[in-house]
């Protein structure tokens, strides 16, 4: 029997919608046009790997207007203003949601943030096609997210290789030991452990602690989602994580820059130079 939309997980529905959107957009903007834009107009890619593997608490601050589980998170959403605040507060990199239907994002948000930011920017989306990687690079993204749960082994390898050819080392997201093994087998180097299960949106910080020991030392380990305090970051850093992706907590804050400062263990008045 065919699976109905009700029986599908949120993740399945997002990916289905994304594939339909890509099919339309590829007809409007062929891959060859994106490749020309990358060659002629795209700024050089910034080194995302270096940014998130420094000593200390490296935060990837996420710009996100809405989510399927919470609806609108931030009413006043200006990617350029947020990028400026979060960079000034000490973010190592930025992540910008570009998925339209479920997260109210757009590639225009990434372009707006890129005009202001001097730190690397990750395209956060549901990437399932090489066309999206070319689109990301043409828009000025320095890296992009890959989600192991929605990609075959061959697709993972293909997208990793394409990213590296464009000097965009991807952030590859896992939620289980099985997914981690697949990503390591495909050659992933920046491993994001998502504490939020994208199939039901439940959050368990223990997911990071359970998987970090299996991540090789020569990989960059990133803990994602459910991080709420400076102590969370200190605990996960001690466990072996190099960087931390934080979105909701920052986007809910009246002053996202000050909220990031608290995560980094600084007072409200102390800023990153």
Partners of 96 in beta bridges: 63, 123
Q: What is the CATH number of the domain that holds 220?
A: 3.20.20.70
Question: Does residue 270 belong to any structural domain of this protein?
Answer: no
- Return the closest-CA partner of residue 124 out of 196, 25, 40: 196
153-171 confidence digits (pLDDT tens): 999 999 999 999 999 999 9
Question: Does residue 252 belong to any structural domain of this protein?
Answer: yes
The overall average pLDDT reported for the chain is 93
What residues are annotated to the active site?
Answer: 62, 64, 124, 173, 194, 224-225
Q: Are strands 71-72 and 93-97 parallel, antiparallel or unpaired?
A: unpaired
Question: Does residue 231 belong to any structural domain of this protein?
Answer: yes
Q: Which residue has the higher pLDDT, 102 or 10?
A: 102
Question: Which DSSP string do the residues of 12-45 spell out, in sequence order?
Answer: HHHHHHHHHHHHHHHHHS-HHHHHHHHHHTPPPP
Question: Does residue 4 belong to any structural domain of this protein?
Answer: no
Q: Show the tokens assigned to 187.
A: 């050659």
Domain encompassing residue 121: 10-263
For residue 5, pLDDT over 80 is answered with no
Question: Does residue 272 belong to any structural domain of this protein?
Answer: no
Q: Are 194 and 11 in contact (CB under 8 A)?
A: no
Question: Does residue 154 belong to any structural domain of this protein?
Answer: yes
Average pLDDT of the segment spanning 98-102: 96
Give CA–CA dist 145/246, Å, rounded. Answer: 14
Domain count, the chain: 1
Query: How confident is the model at residue 3, as a pLDDT?
Result: 38
Question: Does residue 195 belong to any structural domain of this protein?
Answer: yes
Half-sphere exposure of 101 (CA within 13 A, CB side): 13
Question: Does residue 268 belong to any structural domain of this protein?
Answer: no
Give CA–CA dist 86/62, Å, rounded. Answer: 9
110-149 confidence digits (pLDDT tens): 999 999 999 999 999 999 999 999 999 999 999 999 999 9
8-39 confidence digits (pLDDT tens): 788 899 999 999 999 999 999 999 999 999 99
Query: How confident is the model at residue 202, as a pLDDT?
Result: 79
């Amino acid at each position: 029997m065919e699976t109905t939309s009700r029986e599908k997980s949120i993740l399945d529905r997002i990916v289905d919608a994304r594939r339909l959107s890509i099919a339309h957009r590829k007809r409007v903007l062929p891959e060859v046009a994106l490749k020309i834009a990358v060659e002629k107009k795209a700024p050089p890619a910034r080194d995302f790997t270096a940014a998130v593997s420094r000593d200390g608490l490296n935060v990837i601050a996420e710009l996100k207007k809405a989510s399927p589980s919470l609806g609108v998170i931030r009413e006043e959403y200006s990617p350029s203003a947020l990028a400026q605040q979060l960079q000034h507060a000490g973010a190592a990199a930025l992540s910008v949601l570009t998925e339209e239907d479920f997260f109210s994002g757009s590639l225009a948000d990434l372009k707006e943030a890129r005009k202001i930011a001097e730190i690397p920017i990750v395209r956060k989306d549901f990437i399932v096609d090489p066309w999206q990687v070319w689109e990301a690079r043409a828009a000025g993204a320095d890296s992009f997210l890959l989600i192991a749960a929605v990609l075959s082994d061959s697709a993972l390898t293909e997208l990793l290789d394409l990213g590296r050819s464009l000097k965009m080392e991807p952030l590859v997201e896992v939620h289980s030991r099985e997914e981690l093994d697949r990503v390591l087998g495909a050659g992933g180097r920046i491993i994001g452990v998502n504490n939020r299960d994208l199939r039901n949106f439940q959050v368990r910080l223990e997911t990071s602690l359970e998987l970090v020991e299996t991540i090789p030392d020569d990989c960059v380990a990133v803990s994602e989602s459910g991080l709420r305090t400076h102590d969370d970051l200190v605990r996960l850093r001690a466990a072996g994580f190099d960087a931390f992706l934080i979105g909701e907590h920052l986007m809910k804050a009246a002053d996202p820059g000050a909220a990031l400062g608290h995560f980094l263990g600084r007072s409200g008045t102390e800023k990153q130079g």
